[in-house]
Structure 1
Amino acid sequence: MNGIDIGSVIRGARSAARMTQNQLGEKVGYSGSAISRIESGRLRPDWDTVARIAMVLNIAPGQLGLQEGTVRRRELLAGAAGVGITLAGLPAVAAAAPGPTTGAPASGLEVALFSLPAVEAVPLPKLVRGLAAARAEFTGARYGALGARLPALLAAAEAARDAASGQARERAQAAVARGYVLATELALKEHSEIAWATADRALAAARTSGDPIVLGEATRVLAITMRRAGRTGAAVDLLRRTATGLDDDARQRAVGATLLMTAAYTAATSSQRADALDLMGGAEESVRALSAGPGGPLYTVDASSAQADLYWVGIHNALGTPDEGVGYAQRLTAVRWPTVERTARAGTDVARMWQQLGDPRRTFAALRQVEQAAPEEVRRPALRAMTSSLLYGPTALPGLREFAQRTGAI
């Protein structure tokens, strides 16, 4: 990149920050071994990855040759005015075809957020149907289609909010918040910096909606964004306070349980074992109290015993005790998840567990199960990094190179 030895720059900044390769990799969606190859010049990262590394390590963009990325963003912004939409059923942006894509699904959303398309307000029932369709894209792990749909949906939601008053405005604010919750979920999966903007908009709209469930959903995605930026303590406090403030009806208890699970995992990522175990114990207690279920699906997560087991796997991965997660993972083999996205997430966490335990065959088997359930999921940066680590590892795995090519890892 412009003749700059970015590996040396990254290695120096990482060492100055007293951060391990594994810790840096966790923050930018790569494995520790992939960071090692970047620093040694054996792996050339894309521009988005370099930008994420620069942000985490507080490296001036010019030190990594990111001027070209600035030009690229200006070109994208110049083209944003040409994005055309229609609102017949709130379909996807015309310029972006639904379905699997080779680019990042959140990239079009990032451009659109600088200047949402101008649309007329639509009736709230139509907006709710559009949100349901977008949620179905997310839970079905159709991230390319979701990224194409969101600009029109967000523009329509904001227009409906601006045109409404009284209780109708509060309901429209809830729709705006949930649209931005979905946008943040997508951005987080792609490790996109746009998650900060979308999470902030989600929380602002949720607070004025007067709906505690929507507020809990927005708080959760903001806290995850904070965790990704290394602000784990503040994220745990935010999640705990919000969970404590929810009422005792079934749906609010379910949201509170998901907030506590998220807080437990967040504490685990900063090696706060006692806090992680305590928070997860509280989450499990809340889940057990929901024996009849929360009375309907939550927006992007669920509060169930299977979900708790999955969080235990992730928590032990984060704490560096993956062996303690094996029993939970074994229980998950019999689970039929309510959505494709959850099925893929379970496979991802199990793959990480086996990778930490030094079992490349089981790691690859779990990744292939993720691909079978959700082909777009294995193209996410974190999973491509896992695949890359297997590819350059010491164990020859039949079919791995073809898998890596198919999923964009090489």
Structure 2
Amino acid sequence: MDVRSAREFGALIRGARCARRLTQTQVGAACGYSPSAVSRIEAGLMHIDYARMMQFAAFLGIAPDRLPSAPVPPRRVVDTVERPADEEDAVRRRELLTGALAAGATAAFGASPANAASPTVDPAAGLEDTLFHLPLASPLRLERLSRQAARARTDFRAARYTALGRALPGLLAAATATRETSAGRAREQAGVVLARSYVLAAELALKQHHDAAWVAADRALATARASGHPVSIGEATRVLAITMRRSGRSPAAVRLLTREASDLDAAQAQTGAVRTTLLLTAAYTAATEGDRATALNLLDEAAEETDRRRATVPGLFTVDATQTQVDGYRITVLNALGTPDEGVKVFTRLNVDRMSTPERRARTWTDAARMWRALGDSQQTFAALRRVEQEAPQELRRPALRALTSDLLYAPARVPGIREFAARTGALPV
């Protein structure tokens, strides 16, 4: 299987898995793979032979003629055999520690303009190498460091993921050097910047389904706790919990989120807002386990806190805590619970344009696309995907969005324009 076939197959099985409301753990158990291996297969990072492709296809109900053609055996086969969990983790750690020269070069110097424009380039490709081999950097004045972090945050909120991927290595290195050479209050402030930089790294890795999210999220929380800043602790807790959920540990993630939320003061503006974002993430996480009562109760609690606060709270790093955001999460939760029809009423009252960032608006249009796809409305699904493209074109490069586009492309009902859209956004190899 070549790289192009691996990406095509990964998008195909992810689309089929999501359409059937199956977790990576469930698919892996049926096909003899670990959840992390299924994640890498879906991301196009792990190559399997044609016989194993057929095994996935049989379980997920994919017609054989939709599979990539049986490949010519490559000179060097990577991860063609599933390993026991302990051995697989050990191999993964070695890969993380050694990295790849190409990834290191991208992390240190940035992608070329041609690659930056390509819909198939992974903006998080250099994160693993960066996290274990930070480039050398000099400490900066806190004001300058904060400005750099603010620019990276702006890139994330604007869904400029290629620019964010280029900026993160230097930002993480500078923030680390600044914290290590500071003391007292200055060290705490540098620690907050570093924690939030790791949050951005985790967010980017999560969007690309990279295992690097674990490392970045863990470091974000450890650094935030060392700083003692409750807002950054909450922000880091959220991305770590998302990483746990992606690995099939949803119950533990819900416990982590609710425990952290209970430690935050709801009466204070910023801590109350972060508490709301933790409740929203916990609601969706509970929904992925089919726990409807817990999910809806957490949503209602978040809505009540937002109503009490009324005003938008500035300063949250990646997610807003508004009533519009609560409604967006409600659609996400209802999709996960397998009741997308209930989300239609929520969607009709939702003004997506009121969300403050392209990244959040694109996320909500993505959830709308999933809702319409689950309801069998291909035209509405495609309309929502086009809105994602209008808001944040780089969102469509994500594995999850490529899978949704691929699923629509190969659906029985013909959707005018979908083939050109898929080619333009990287879901259809060219």
Would you say same fold, with TM above 0.5?
yes
CA contact (8 A) 2:104 2:129 kept: no
Amino acid at match of 1:78: L
CA contact (8 A) 1:391 1:401 kept: yes
Paired residues, what number?
386
What is aligned with 1:148? 166
Amino acid at match of 1:252: T
**Deviation at residue 291 of structure 1 after TM alignment:** 1.1
**Deviation at residue 108 of structure 1 after TM alignment:** 1.6
Q: Mind listing any 5+ residue stretches in structure 2 that lack a counterpart?
A: 3-8, 18-24, 44-55
- The answer as to 2:29 corresponding to 1:17 is yes
CA contact (8 A) 1:100 1:145 kept: no
What is aligned with 1:260? 279
Amino acid at match of 1:188: L
CA contact (8 A) 2:107 2:129 kept: no
Spell out, residue by residue over 1:83-123, the C-alpha distance to the aligned partner (whole angstroms, 9 max, x if none).
Answer: 686xxxxxxx4455595443111002222222010111111
**Deviation at residue 197 of structure 1 after TM alignment:** 0.4
CA contact (8 A) 2:142 2:190 kept: yes
CA contact (8 A) 1:80 1:115 kept: no
- The answer as to 2:110 corresponding to 1:110 is no
What is aligned with 1:166? 184
The verdict on how the C-alpha distance between 1:335 and 1:20 changes in structure 2, with shifts beyond 3 A counting, is farther
CA contact (8 A) 1:34 1:385 kept: no
The verdict on how the C-alpha distance between 1:343 and 1:281 changes in structure 2, with shifts beyond 3 A counting, is same
TM-score by length of 2: 0.80
Instruction: Please tell me the root mean square deviation across aligned C-alpha atoms, in Å.
Output: 3.8
- The answer as to 2:197 corresponding to 1:179 is yes
RCO higher in structure (CA 8 A, sep ≥6): 2
CA contact (8 A) 1:134 1:146 kept: yes
The verdict on how the C-alpha distance between 1:94 and 1:311 changes in structure 2, with shifts beyond 3 A counting, is closer
Distance in structure 2 (CA, Å) of the matches to 1:59 and 1:318: 31
CA contact (8 A) 1:34 1:388 kept: no
The verdict on how the C-alpha distance between 1:278 and 1:27 changes in structure 2, with shifts beyond 3 A counting, is farther
Amino acid at match of 1:381: P
Distance in structure 2 (CA, Å) of the matches to 1:340 and 1:20: 39
What is aligned with 1:77? 100
- The answer as to 2:289 corresponding to 1:270 is yes
Distance in structure 2 (CA, Å) of the matches to 1:304 and 1:34: 43
Amino acid at match of 1:240: T
Q: Mind listing any 5+ residue stretches in structure 1 that lack a counterpart?
A: 62-66, 86-92
**Deviation at residue 15 of structure 1 after TM alignment:** 6.5
- The answer as to 2:333 corresponding to 1:310 is no
CA contact (8 A) 2:168 2:197 kept: yes
SS at match of 1:394: coil
Give the 5 Å matches for 1:231-242. 231-242=249-260
CA contact (8 A) 1:24 1:35 kept: no
**Deviation at residue 198 of structure 1 after TM alignment:** 0.2
**Deviation at residue 292 of structure 1 after TM alignment:** 2.4
**Deviation at residue 54 of structure 1 after TM alignment:** 6.3
